[in-house]
Structure 1
Amino acid sequence: MAEELYASPISQPSRAVHWLCKVNNYPIDYKYTDSGKGATRTEEFLQLNPMGKIPVLKDGDFVLSESHAIMIYLADKHGWEKWCPKDLKIRARITEYMNWHHHNARRSSEIFINQFFVNIGRSKPSIEASLKRKDQTIGDIFRILEFWLRHGNLYLVSATEPTVVDLSCYNEVVQLEVMGLLTDVEDKFPKVAAWLKRMKDLPYHDEMLAPMINMAASTKAIGNVFQVLCPTRNYGVGTRVTRKIWSKFPEPTYWEITRIHPSPDLKHGKVFGRFTFRGKTDPVEKRINVPLKKDWVFAEL
């Protein structure tokens, strides 16, 4: 019986584990787990992983968390030696990378998430301050990757074949490319740029990355909707909205946006929110029935 993998394609560590299974044609029992909807906070899930994080592997009565531990376990169990070689020195390099990963390559996700919030109009001073340091952070990460790719190495810990390290690292740093933040990587880090291209040739690349790419594209679309409406301001989820015809109502009267579904042409959209009238907020999210158009007046109250 195949192991159960609790994961999500939006989760970088989850993608790395699932991709390892796919390239080895292994039919893992994939349990889609949407952390955004609270699936990792249920009592059932917390019995598997009290940290409330994905991915989680369940092999009979044995439960394992942390993507690196899961990948090594699966590779050793099923004999995927190409992806996790037994060679003592290569295995030591894999361990070296995995210790480095959490406070270095993983910072790519912080940049990605911060850019995500900016794109949907949820920026704040701490996010903007972090993004001002993004070039330095990316440089710090990529300098180490460039060093590991020296001497003609095609991959991070192996001269000729990708390993679990490449799957783990790529799923982090490719997000920066998706967000358009790697404009000068070929000039500054040519070995890393070549490695990124090689990783795109791996089987199942597009399938594994599609959900994340689509999510990033949708945030850009939301940002474009608000640029059409008012190019000098950023608006998004959490913005409080008033409309001219509501001016006869006493303050505070407004909608607080909770969801936005932009139209394909990025000029209109469906908006959902909660209405506050005379200081009382309706707890139920409702469709704002007036189409999102240029006659709306936006104000952060």
Structure 2
Amino acid sequence: MLNILGKASSINVRKVLWTCVELNLPFEREDWGAGFRSTHTPEFLALNPNALVPVIKDGDFVLWESNTIIRYLASRYGGAHLYPADAVMRARVDQWMDWQATDLNRSWSYAFLGLVRASPAHQATGEIALSIENWTRHMRILDARLQATGAFVAGTHFSLADIPVGLSVNRWFGTPFEHPSLPRVSAYFERLAERPGFAMHCGNGIP
């Protein structure tokens, strides 16, 4: 049985949970992180020295880094429909997964922490405005990409990349500020709502 360590509200844990649903992969989950068991204990640090969730234990194999975890699960457990073996198609999936984890995440971090998490360290009005501006620029990139594909971020079919990107789109809609009209992003989010793991781990009221 696959064991997932991390609280279910974490966006990075939800990547793994949604992927498991897409793969029909059974798992057990343990609550770790803020509000639950500390990730700074020797027990957890032995699994991930970065003290971050998620971590998976697949038998004797331990793995951390959420995007790496979902690539591993798709590769091991029959996920070629999500993570194709063809080098070009796989590279396109990887490109958008990496974009979500780096460029997109960095753009929304300050605004999200300030406006949703109410972090005292993220309340500078100018910094929030700049974060929203950068976030919007990246969401326009996504909107243009979706216009080009007509469907999903890596192409015409749902792929592993749509899980992290979809969770970020959920965070976009769940953050309180005036959003510009991005019709392709809105339509994309509606398409994602048809997926079996969406209601449980993306459109579940948790931004």
Q: TM-score range by the shorter chain?
A: 0.7 to 0.9
Counterpart residue number, 1:90: 89
Amino acid in the other structure paired with 1:18: L
Contiguous gaps of at least 5 residues in structure 1: 217-301
Counterpart residue number, 2:184: 191
Check whether the contact 2:23–2:77 (CA below 8 A) recurs between aligned residues: no
- Normalised to the residue count of structure 1, the TM-score between the two structures is 0.62
> Which structure: greater strand fraction?
1
Alpha-carbon separation, structure 2, partners of 1:61 and 1:101: 30
Q: Larger radius of gyration, structure 1 or 2?
A: 1
Alpha-carbon separation, structure 2, partners of 1:41 and 1:212: 28
* 1:167-194 deviation digits (Å, cap 9, x = unpaired): 0111123112122336323xxx221221
- Cα deviation for residue 201 of structure 1 reads 2.2
1:183 is paired with a residue whose SS is coil
Amino acid in the other structure paired with 1:25: N
Percent of aligned positions that are identical:
26
Amino acid in the other structure paired with 1:169: V
Alpha-carbon separation, structure 1, partners of 2:194 and 2:178: 19
Counterpart residue number, 2:143: 146
* 1:130-171 deviation digits (Å, cap 9, x = unpaired): 211133122221122123223343000021x21111101111
Counterpart residue number, 1:50: 49
Check whether the contact 1:48–1:63 (CA below 8 A) recurs between aligned residues: yes
Change (3 A) 1:80 1:175: same
Within 5 Å, give how 1:71-220 maps onto structure 2: 71-107=70-106, 108-118=108-118, 123=120, 127-159=124-156, 161-181=157-177, 183-185=179-181, 189-209=182-202, 213=206
Check whether the contact 2:104–2:138 (CA below 8 A) recurs between aligned residues: yes
2:81 is paired with a residue whose SS is coil
* 1:189-215 deviation digits (Å, cap 9, x = unpaired): 2212211221122213222247653xx
1:26 is paired with a residue whose SS is coil
Greater relative CO, 1 or 2 (CA 8 Å, sep 6+): 2
Check whether the contact 2:19–2:197 (CA below 8 A) recurs between aligned residues: no
Check whether the contact 2:170–2:202 (CA below 8 A) recurs between aligned residues: no
> Which structure: greater helix fraction?
2
- Cα deviation for residue 72 of structure 1 reads 0.8
What is the RMSD computed on CA atoms of the aligned residues?
A: 2.2
1:51 is paired with a residue whose SS is coil
Alpha-carbon separation, structure 1, partners of 2:136 and 2:67: 24
Contiguous gaps of at least 5 residues in structure 2: none
Alpha-carbon separation, structure 2, partners of 1:125 and 1:156: 30
* 1:248-296 deviation digits (Å, cap 9, x = unpaired): xxxxxxxxxxxxxxxxxxxxxxxxxxxxxxxxxxxxxxxxxxxxxxxxx
Change (3 A) 1:34 1:135: closer
